[in-house]
Amino acid sequence: MIAPSSRFLIVGEQVTGPVHTGQVIDWDQRRWYNINGPLTYIPPEENVDIDVLKRYIGQLGQTVKSITVDENGLLVNVSSDPEDDSTLTTHDPRLANAPSLQSCPAVQHSQLTEEDRLGPTVDLVSYADDAGLKKLAVFKYDMIFQRRSWIWNELHLNKALPRHPNIVPFDRVVLSDAESRLLGFTTPYIPNGTMEENKDRVFKLSWFQQLLDVVDYLNFELGIAHQDIAPGNLLVEPETDNLLLFDFDRAARVNHTSCLPERNDVKGVIFTLYEIVSQDDHFRRVEHRKQDQNSVLDLESWPVKTKLDSDIREFRKLLNAWVQRRKEQDSAPAEDVEFTPGIPDVPPASPVIKYHDENGVAKWGDNSIRSRQQALEHKESLIVWERPPQQLAPLE
């Protein structure tokens, strides 16, 4: 189930005179809503749109596109008019236009059965493998333009990474049934939850050593910075008892412009160990550039809320030695690495007729992003992402 705190996203806001309109996505239903109301009740950039939708979403039918509230937040209008549909579609490249992916194992979207909803644009699914056996997988996909390049880049990096005992491997690309367009990719499902979700298991010193080793491997042997080391991105493979790192959507080549100092993996490891041990993440509830690793390293004692297989002093001793070694390694001249993941640019969108001028002449453009209404008018093939809600409402 998607965490209530992650269920909604504001993707747009407009102010017209005294009226505020916001576009909110409900990731549970994968549905867009217009939220309208007076500025006195819904000021910009304060997430009130989400509060309004949470309050009324349990009363809304599956065809509702827009709701309006008054100055007291009371519902005064509900619209299912297609003209009020704010849904935007994004260009998903055809497999035929992506040579880098044509040798990848693939599965069609219609062959996936949803088993659970793990997070925004991340589902637990099943499909029949080549032997006809049911296989569980995690499906990560793109349904808004802002995340298209993330999925594209993460997919290419995942499939290029050498097999490693501490990295969740790539599984398959997922294609639309019509036109074989790239929707996302799958990775094998690892049960028992992440380190953030499952706080009951005993955290092992050997797992922490594996985390240090895989971070060194990525940074020095592959020249890759993960940039999102966190308990929520760590699993344990039950058959091998190996710690597994996943979620490479923030990853970048070391020393490239997208490799951000404030997201460096050493800092990520420091905070991750503290958060696993203490079950306290308040040091990272600020902007990345304001996160201070010394605020954790300099603590005389750490509150231990998680069961450990070794004394906390052993964990901190291992961490401190690694941090010191990394200071020396990171200050040395960088060595060349042979790993080149080969991440091409996203294929350009196909040209489409955007509109006709007053003389009836077609005006062309690309369809990287356009309204669903426009796409339907031009009889384009669309993915229907909407689904029934899994969570009951109203929501707190």
Structure tokens belonging to residue 389: 């809600």
Using alpha carbons, select from 80, 10, 85, 74 the residue that is nearest to residue 385.
85
pLDDT reported for residue 386: 95
Question: Cβ(124)–Cβ(191) under 8 Å?
Answer: no
CA 266 to CA 157: how far, in whole Å? Answer: 21
pLDDT reported for residue 355: 63
Residue 374 φ/ψ region, left for φ over 0, alpha for ψ in the -120 to 50 degree band, beta for the rest: alpha
User: Quick one: the chain helix, strand, coil %, rounded to 5?
Assistant: 30, 25, 45
pLDDT reported for residue 366: 61
pLDDT reported for residue 332: 79
pLDDT reported for residue 393: 62
The angle at the Cα of 369, spanning 364 to 372, to the nearest 5 degrees, equals 95
Domain extents in the chain: 4-86, 90-188, 205-331
pLDDT reported for residue 251: 97
pTM of the model: 0.92
DSSP letters spanning 229-272: --GGGEEEETTTTEEEE---TT-EETTSTT--GGG-HHHHHHHH
Q: Which residues contact 290 (CB under 8 A, 6 or more apart)?
A: none
pLDDT reported for residue 347: 87
Using alpha carbons, select from 177, 181, 244 the residue that is nearest to residue 207.
244
Which CATH number describes the domain made up of 90-188?
3.30.200.20
What is the DSSP-derived secondary structure letter of residue 203?
B
Question: Cβ(37)–Cβ(22) under 8 Å?
Answer: no
Q: Name the CATH code of domain 205-331 (choices 1.10.510.10, 2.40.30.170, 3.40.50.1820, 2.60.120.10).
A: 1.10.510.10
pLDDT reported for residue 173: 98
Q: CA dihedral in degrees (203, 205, 208, 212; nearest 10)?
A: 180
Q: What pLDDT tens digit does each residue of the chain (396 aa) get?
A: 899 999 999 999 999 999 999 999 999 999 999 999 999 999 998 999 999 999 999 999 999 999 999 999 999 999 999 999 999 988 889 999 999 999 999 999 999 999 999 999 999 999 999 999 999 999 999 998 888 899 999 999 999 999 999 999 999 999 999 899 999 999 999 999 999 999 999 999 999 999 999 999 999 999 999 999 999 999 999 999 999 999 999 999 998 999 999 999 999 999 999 999 999 999 999 999 999 999 999 999 999 999 999 999 999 999 999 999 999 998 877 778 889 898 999 988 766 556 667 777 766 566 677 788 877 877 777 888 999 999 876 566
- Going by DSSP bridges, is the β-strand pair 351-356/362-366 parallel, antiparallel, or unpaired? antiparallel
Distance, C-alpha 270 to centroid of its chain: 22
pLDDT reported for residue 351: 62
Residue 6 φ/ψ, nearest 5 degrees = -110, 0
